[in-house]
Structure formats: structure tokens, C-alpha cells
Structure 1
Amino acid sequence: MTRASHFHQPQTGGNGKTPYETVFVARQPVFGRDLSTWGYALLYRDAGDADRAVFSDDFDATLRVVANAPLCPDTCAPDKHVLIHFPERSVIGGVAHALPPETTVVLVAELADPGPEYLDSLLGLKRDGYTLALDNYSADPAREAQYALADIFCVDVLGREAGELSALARAAGKWPVRLLAKRVEDQGTLELCRELGFHLFQGFFFKKPQTLSARTISSLEESRLRLFKVIEHDEPDFPALTQAIEADVSLTYRLLTFLNSASFGFAKKVASIRQAVVLAGWKPIRAWLRLLLLTDLVPAARTRELAYLSAQRARFLELAAQAGDRPDQADILFLMGLFSLLEPIFNMPMEHIVDRLPLPDAVRLALCGEDNDLSPWLALTQALENSDFSAARALCRELGLEAAQAAEAYQASLHWADCFFGLLAADPGGAEI
């Protein structure tokens, strides 16, 4: 899953004012062979008109990413690695030392003619405990001095034939490294890379169904989908809601655990849904119920990233609608974001799933790929996740959003999702996702 945020770097202009240059940072998960989340790659782009990452000073851009990475708490968790590109100048300047060596992966490019100062700096980073990753490994014999220092070789696998990937994997075998396959877009490529001995995988394969077979909805899934219908009313139906939730011990336990957590800050202990609704209001309680139900639907094999990304998409679209003076669309966009990954979650066509959910027609059509007024909002989330910030800027203009507003909404949605999943991880009775 990719998460994007923005940071501002003040630059003094000739008129004495201090304009701000927006820098976008996208976060993409990196998976291990068992599809658990090994860590995250941070990718940066500027917010100008360029299609690619263009900075007058890439050293400065790296500084900003490094300085702001700790603002994403889940990214810098002690059990996750964070992979950041460091250009030559930042390696020599020791910028990586601002981050902990235990979890920081220093990603560097293959250089045609690296100088001794650069190689010595890489060696110093290794001695200090940093992991070194070499981007776009090419198996060039002239670059073996760099290969000898690396811990990870990153290979761009998109569009490459099996024979070419096999040759690169064999050439890498002479070095004690792990192989990271990046831009893995489908299950077939994932399996091929696994067979060739790759250890780590980055790409959007996890957001796509393995097969669009004629599988049916299980009884547990059907009961969860029925619960969505119970909670999708503007006003709560307390008898139906109580009956549906109390019939599920796990759901009841987790919901009451969340309601009594510091996130809600109730002065007295909450013992029932009715009491929670009176204290907090129906809208936030319903949002948490939606998220709890969704996490139960995500298969463990697809990792928690699908559930996290669904939750973050929902919150991002809700906040973006509010920032764009469309508060009347906030709730409907939350629903669209939350359900936008049902196809890979259920591993079946979206058209077969949405009929079971209480969705407005506009949301249903947008989720099924039809063009309508909601489609650009979904396209905006996908553009940010794909690090396609040129497309994101164009979509922001179409939707009447400032680029900075979209970036701020993404940053806020990241923290919101972190809050929910932090509570879920801390809950001993919670479902594993």
C-alpha cells in the first residue's frame, strides 16, 4: 500500500515574503516472502509541474524526507524497516545518521565511477549498523566495488522476461545479499520472483485479486456484510444494532475496548452501544464499526496493508471533501474509500460484492469502474499511491482542491489510520489481520 504526505520547506523570496514549496512523500510497503510487511519505501516528489522528482537540490529533498519521516509513527515503528534514497552528496554528508541504524535502509544508485570518499562513506555506514541497498542492480562487473558493500540488491522487474530476471538472480548469487523485486504488479510476477530466490517484494500486486474465480461469499463474510446494512442508517436502530453486535463476542469485546480507550476520552466507562452513541454521537461510532467489520473481512494472506489502505483511503477522501468545500459528500466518499479494495479482499469481481452492501448508486458505479462525479476522487487516491503526482495535481485542479490541501488530508489520514490499527494491535482479543 502507498501512503503520501507533504512537508513544507520555507524559501525566502525577493519580495520579502516566505513562500512554501510543497514536497510530497509517498510510502509503499515492502513485503517479505510470507507477505508480512517488512518495511516501507519512502518516495518523494516536488509539487511543481514536473512529472518526475525534480529538485534544484536533491540533497535538500533528502534532508526534508529524513527530517519528517518520524512524523509517520507506523513507518518508523521499531519492527519495520524504512528505505530511503540517498544521493551521493547526502551519503558523504552523513545525512542517514539522523535516523536509527537498526531500521534504516540506505538506498543508493549504482554509480559509473564512484570516488573513494563515497565508497568510504558507504563502508562507514555499514560499520555503524545501517543496511545498504543498491538500486536498479545491473550485474555490471565494473561496479563490483559497490556490490561488495551492499546488503540488498533492488531489481526493477516490471516488463522483464523470466530469462533476464533469472540471469540477474544468478549473478547476484556470488554476493551475500538479499534480492528486492520492485514494481511487482501481479501475482504471476510475484511467484516467478519467489521461485528465482527473491526475498523482498515491492509493488501493487497486493491490491489486485489473485484470481477472479467464481468463489462464493462465506457465511462469516455474509454475516459481516449484513451488519453493514444495519449500521448504514443516519440514525441508529438500537434493537437491531444491539442484537447484531452482541451475537458476536469478538466484535463486542473489541468495540467496547476501543470505546473505553484514550482515543475517545469518555469520563466514565462505556458499557453499551447506546451509551456510546449518546456520549460520542452516531457518526464516529459508525465509522469505527465500519472499520472493525472491514478488518474482519481481510484474509491474513493479503496482509494488514489492504485493511490499512482501505481505512486510510476512506479518511483521506472524507477530509479532502471537507477541504474542497464539499462537506455534503464527505460521508459518501468515506464509504467509497473504505470499500474501494473489496475486489482483492474477497478475491472476486467488484460487481459480485457491491450488491450485498447498502451503497448509493453513484458509489456502486464508481467502484465498478464507471465514470461519474465520484470517479475523480478515487482516481486521486490511486494517483497518490502510485507516486503519480502529475496526475494528482491535475485531479486536484479538476476537483477544486489545492495540492497542499490534498497532501494535508493524506497526512491526517495516515495518523488517523495509525490510531485505529495501533489500538487493534494492542487489543489481545482482536482479530489478527
Structure 2
Amino acid sequence: MPVSTAVVGRQPVIDRAHNVVGYELLFRPLPTSETARDPYAAQSFDGDEMTNQVIFSALGLGIDRLTGGRTVFCNADRGVLTGQIPVSLPPRQTVIEVLESVTIDDEVLAGCRALSRAGYRLAADDFLWITGAEELLEIVDIVKIDLRATPLDAAAALIARCRPFEVQVIAEKIETAQEFAACLELDFDLFQGYFLGRPTTVSGPALGTSRLAVLRLATAVLDDDIDYDSIDRLLRAEPALSYQLIQLAAIGRFGETKRGVRSVREALVWIGLSRLRGWIPALLLRPAGRAIDTNLPAVLTRARMAELLAMDLFPRDSDFAFTAAMLSAFDLLLGVPRENLASILDIPVDLQRAAFGNDTPIGRLIGDIIEYERHGADPACFPGVGRDRVGHAAAHAFSWAVQATQLIDSYAAA
């Protein structure tokens, strides 16, 4: 489970009062030996792959960290618009931009209506009045006019034709103060361009999901006789997939951000079979690593030990304890200081408090386990748990973690 880098560009969108109201997220190729040799290697990606990488990078970095709670503008090619690639961004916070390169046909229009019903706002990017324009204007909420392609006098006429559809109009690619002043005069609603803010690149550590793990998950969820217990067991040995699943469930179907998901099993229930199956193609499009992190057994040992001890102390919260303890060990996988994890991981509040705080019963249990790992603390430091039980839990957890890692190795070698 190698550490990779999540990379995304962002450019501000401002209103007439010069307030930043959102950011357009932009594709940036992951740093590889290929892009080091050829800065334009990104041209080998198609639109759906770019959108998919932007979405996963944004989730990995944290939407709030990227936007400060403001609106997300995300480009979408045909596969996203027609539902072949799921959009795992919070609907109420996201504007899906229909790229000008997409042919507007019945399938795309139906997909746009479905996204709108799901709570997403839609924008027509680089809008021109061409065949199908009126049908699209009946669905979208925003129109973006590219000043490099549409002169200001033509933009004025285009705005006038759009206004009856009650859409907001964004002027994009504003490059000078004079252009900005003219756009204000033309009664644009929102503004974007180099003059107002150049794109910046945001990056951070991310867990690379092995393609093997994704294929195993695909096999499990596409089986007619689906077994949720088997999926839960599979995800327990794959922290990266578990984390992404929790993020997806926390967003919610209709845009409820930071839903209080407490465990991987609960995330499976919230997401449901249909969304889980739809998630697989997006995962398969991602760049994936192959190596298994040497720290994986330590992460799984902590998670399993927390679960076993919670079965005695807090039986109803044993799944929650496993998930929180697993997340608490992500410093071992990401190679960052543990004190920085809370700001890096985008997870529900209950999980964050348990994984990184000591003001909850599960949080204190995880803290005791970490002390036990570091210093071989006296098992008596676990209130309410017998000395023998602590030793047994530690030994069983380690054995389970080794077996899980060996199983992954055996699949990889097959």
C-alpha cells in the first residue's frame, strides 16, 4: 500500500463584491518519471480519467481544506455526465461543468437531469449558442463565457439571450483590469481569470490503492450472491479502500456532508449495493500502486486489538473501535507525523475524536493501545480488562494481521 501524492489545481471564482465564492478544480498530472521528462504527458489522459483523478485527489486532500467550505466547480466529460463514472463530491457544494467538447444529445441531457435531481448544480462551460443550446439552458444553473473565444460585444448579446432562462453568468479567462471593468458593466454575475487569481497547485500525501484490492472488491460486489460479511472482511485488510468508502458514505446520497459514519460496516450500509457497484469503475480508472506497505501489519494489529478489547468494554462499538484505531495508524502508511493526521484525513467528527483524541472511551482505549505498542505498557493500564485478556488480544491481533497481509501477498503472487 504505497504512499502516493494527491495533486489538484484550483482557481478562484469571485462575485461582484470581490468575494471568493468557489474554486474550479483542475487536473494536474501526478508526479512520475514520465511527467518529469514530458510536462505535457497529461495529454495522454482522456477527459473522464482527468475528472476521476481530480475527484479522488480532492477527496484525498479534503474538500474543506481545498475550498474552505466554498463551492466546488468540477469539469465533466461524457462518462461523468451519463453516469458511467460516479461523482463522489458533495452535491450541495458542487457545480458540474458540462465541457464544450461534449456532444449534447438525449443521453447527455438525461444524465444532466439526473445529476440535477441528485442535488448538483450544472454549468455550461465555454458556452456558445449552437444546436442544442436551448435544451441545455433549461437544465443548467450557470453559463460560463470564455472571453478569449467570445469578444465582449458578442458576450453582451449572449448574456441577453441567456437571461430568460434564469441562469447565472460567469465571465472566464479575464486577463486585464480593463476586461474586468467591462465585465462588471456587462452585468456578469461571477468572474474568473488570471487577473483575478491564477491557478495554484495543492498537494499532499495519499494512500495508493492496489489494483488487486479493487479487483477483489469488484468481484465481491458484482457477484449475484453478494455477501456483505465477505466485503467487510476484505475492506478490513485494505485501509486505503476503507478510508475512501467512509468518505463516500459521509457525503451522503443527497449531499449531506460529514454524515456521522462510525465504521466500515456502517459505511457499506449507508452506501448501498447500487452505489458501491457504481464506484468500482471510478476506482479502476485511478493510477494504482502495487507494493504492500511494510507497516500494514502494524496498522491492522492496532485496529484488531482495539476491536477485541472493545468487545469486552463496549460491545456495541467494536466495529467503530476497529475503524477508528485503523485511521489512528495512518501516520505509519502516509509517513507524516501523527499530530498532523487530524488535519489531513477528511473523516466524520466521531471518528476523528476517537482516532486522535482522548476525550471519548474509544479514544482513551486507542491511546492505551498506542502506549502498549510503544513502551510495552503494563496490561493493567487498561481499566476493566484483565491482564491475560490484554495479552491474548495483542497476540491474536498480531496473528490476524500477519495472516491478512500474507493473504494479500498470496493474491498478488497468483
TM-score range for the pair, normalised by the shorter chain length: 0.3 to 0.5
Structure (1/2) with the larger helix percentage = 2
TM score, norm. by length of structure 1: 0.41
TM-score (structure 2 length as normaliser) = 0.43
